[in-house]
């Protein structure tokens, strides 16, 4: 109870969704005039994450979901550690923990695992899946690499002043929504995308509101300890992105190492890298054990394959309205 009192914002249950979208049910967090959305089981860890002790040598990657997070994590970790062999052997979820990961894990999932798992290795893996990642990070005596989809407003207040390195990646809303649709709605028919887009535009998804999330990152672009990237720029020129990140992280890289890392994070190689897949148990029982779930296409503009002219007109109006509130502009055309 004492720890809970340290969380300064009110949390309330979110809305019920249709059967296709049960897995995006969220809670509401009231921060000033903004109502943030977080995963359903976030309340139990809200205070622990908000009060998490940030260290000056931490490296964080913060994004709205499906905005090039995994790609950025892999690039960043390898720039700092310069060990491509370890990057194919040690799971990314261990090298670069997702601090609020267990906010997605239900009691039913835990009970089912405890009741049904008999394989010793799988049981060990399961126990790692359900252990709060913020606790694992607290116990890590070495330099820490931390992933989050939470907005800055819900992360430790010292994050942007501690001297640690923060990389924020923003992806245009149309492609982010399509990628999220394919990730969250694997069993949903294509025609369900319209309902999904309505939920996205109306800020019903976890980590929403979308525009507040990305503009929070944009406002920190002049902070010397924040590197703001557009996903579209990273995809169009990965070598340039690697060089930019290396400079930000104060690491010298030869052109040969830049080439090797760019090849390592090529989407085909990422799909085939077992260390990227994460915990097998989690994938089999939550995500369906499909590598394409994590790495679909890795391109810019795939939204054109999903948006009808009617959805696109609504989306463009929404984007135009939000562009009036910020000088941030995505390096893409929305026509």
Active site residues per annotation: 149
DSSP class per residue in 31-85: ETTEEEEEETTGGGTHHHHHT----TT-EEEEESSSSSHHHHHHHHHHHHH--HH
Q: Strands, E, within 222-282: which ranges? A: 226-230
Return phi, psi of residue 259, to 5°.
-60, -45
Residue 223: which residues within 8 A CB-CB, separation 6 or more?
160, 166
Please state, as a whole number, how many other Cβ atoms lie within 10 Å of the Cβ of residue 42: 22
- Per-residue buried b or exposed e for 263-291, using 16+ beta carbons within 10 Å of the residue's own CB: ebbeeeebeebebbbbbbbbbebbbeeeb
């Amino acid at each position: 109870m004492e720890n809970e009192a340290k969380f300064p914002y009110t949390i309330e249950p979110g809305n019920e969704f249709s059967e296709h979208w049960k897995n995006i049910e969220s809670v509401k967090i009231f921060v000033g005039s903004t109502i943030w959305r977080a995963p359903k089981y976030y309340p139990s860890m809200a205070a622990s994450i908000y009060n998490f002790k940030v260290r000056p040598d931490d490296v964080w990657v913060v994004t709205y979901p499906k905005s090039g997070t995994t790609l950025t994590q892999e690039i960043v970790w390898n720039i700092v550690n310069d060990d491509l062999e370890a990057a194919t052997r040690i799971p990314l979820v261990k090298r670069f923990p997702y601090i609020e990961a267990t906010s997605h894990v239900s009691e039913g999932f835990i009970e089912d695992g405890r009741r049904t798992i008999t394989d010793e290795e799988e049981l060990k893996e399961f126990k790692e899946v359900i252990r709060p990642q913020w606790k694992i990070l607290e116990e890590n005596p070495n330099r820490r690499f931390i992933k989050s989809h939470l907005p800055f407003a819900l992360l430790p207040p010292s994050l942007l002043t501690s001297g640690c390195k923060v990389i924020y990646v923003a992806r245009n809303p149309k492609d982010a929504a399509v990628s999220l649709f394919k990730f969250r709605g694997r069993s949903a028919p294509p025609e369900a995308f319209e309902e999904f887009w309505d939920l996205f535009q109306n800020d019903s998804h976890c980590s929403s509101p979308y525009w507040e999330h990305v503009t929070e990152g944009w406002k920190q672009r002049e902070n010397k300890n924040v590197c703001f990237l557009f996903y579209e720029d990273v995809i169009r020129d990965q070598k340039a992105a690697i060089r930019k990140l290396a400079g930000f992280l104060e690491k010298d890289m030869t052109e040969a190492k830049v080439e090797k890392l760019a090849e390592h994070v090529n989407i085909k190689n990422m799909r085939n890298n077992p260390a990227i897949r994460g915990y097998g148990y989690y994938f089999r029982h939550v995500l369906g054990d499909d590598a394409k779930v994590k790495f679909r296409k890795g391109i810019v503009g795939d939204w054109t394959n999903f948006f009808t002219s009617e959805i696109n007109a609504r989306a463009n109006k929404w984007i135009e309205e939000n562009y009036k509130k910020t000088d941030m502009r995505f390096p893409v055309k929305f026509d």
